[in-house]
Amino acid sequence: MNVVMKKINVILGALFALFILSCSSDNNNDDNDLTISEEIKDLIYFNGNEKANTVVINIQSGSDIELVADEVDFLRQNLIDTNSLLVTVHQAQTLNPTLVDGDDISLNEATAINIETVDILSRVITYFKEQGRTVHIFGESFGAFVTQELIAEKGMNIADNYLIMIGRLDMNDVIWQGLLERRYGYFENGITPILEDEVAVDNIERNLVMLAAEFASNKYTQKLNQFQDLSKITYIYGKADEAVGRLTESEVQFLASRNANIIVGEGNHDETLNQFIFQGFEEAFGIE
């Protein structure tokens, strides 16, 4: 009987040891899973706790050939919450500036570059989601258009919530068609579109303008019409926005009919951003 009990104790002891080792291994794996792979680090700039459960992905506010760090650094310095990881993701042309530093690109070439930008963004979002993290998307100005294209092409559920600021759903034809000609435009009183005579001369600038034109040419009330529920979106615009114009009544009605959270200010492009960015983070993401 003693021999049998000794054998049972040995077996139980071995099983207990295996259980402890398994738990330890699981804990280590969980901890390691919340680090960022070098492959993903090559696609982003980040500020904050690498292992945070909440990730806010910022889509930089302009098309450029360099990844901007200032926007994420500003958010980290000014948000009370310090537990989230703040990330900016490369665009196709910030990863590979040669895409836009040569001759004038065509609209089709701009479309291909923008598709790659959205694919890179989608890849980074999916990476963090597969780690079990909460992922929020923040897009302002140019980033607003990228965010809308992301939702339209990759689906509403690719991320958890979206904050879209100082963008447009349906840009006025005269403005995006002017951009195709490398000409800038603006909105008088946030309403009346006016096309400037001046044409971009620098070759890189001319091609970056074409990227903006391609995004702006899309009618997002149509592209997002596939989604009956837009309640994951908080959309903020200014009535006097000179850069992209205020949302029209039809754009606002579209968002409202699908339960998006709409915040409207009286100011221009920059004033609206400065006045509402932190309210937007609180309402959209629950982050102060």
For the chain, what are the domain ranges? 38-285
pLDDT of residue 34: 81
pLDDT digits (tens, 9 = 90+) for 149-180: 999 999 999 999 999 999 999 999 999 999 99
Round to whole Å and give the CA distance between 220 and 254. Answer: 10
Q: Tally Cβ neighbours within 10 Å of residue 95.
A: 16
pLDDT of residue 244: 98
pLDDT of residue 171: 98
pLDDT of residue 155: 98
Region 14-43 average pLDDT? 59
Widest Cα–Cα separation across the chain: 100
pLDDT digits (tens, 9 = 90+) for 120-137: 999 999 999 999 999 999
Mean pLDDT, rounded, of the chain? 90
pLDDT of residue 177: 97
pLDDT of residue 5: 43
Region 225-229 average pLDDT? 98
Contact 190, 245 (CB under 8 A): yes
Round to whole Å and give the CA distance between 196 and 209. Answer: 14
Nearest to 241 by CA among 231, 251, 233, 232: 251
pTM (2 decimals)?
0.88
In the predicted model, is pLDDT for residue 195 greater than 70?
A: yes
- Give the model's confidence band at 256: pLDDT under 50 very low, under 70 low, under 90 confident, else very high: very high
Beta bridge partners of 185: 195
- What is the 3-state secondary structure of 77-131? HHCCCCCCEEEEECCHHHHCHHHCCCCCCCHHHHHHHHHHHHHHHHHHHHHHHHC
| Element holding 161 (H helix, E strand) | strand 161-165
Round to whole Å and give the CA distance between 61 and 151. Answer: 17
3-class state of residue 174 by DSSP: helix
pLDDT digits (tens, 9 = 90+) for 31-44: 456 889 999 999 99
Contact 83, 162 (CB under 8 A): no
pLDDT of residue 275: 97
Determine whether domain 38-285 maps to CATH 3.40.50.920.
no
pLDDT digits (tens, 9 = 90+) for 50-109: 999 999 999 999 999 999 999 999 999 999 888 899 999 999 999 999 999 999 999 999
3-class state of residue 140 by DSSP: strand
In the predicted model, is pLDDT for residue 287 greater than 60?
A: yes
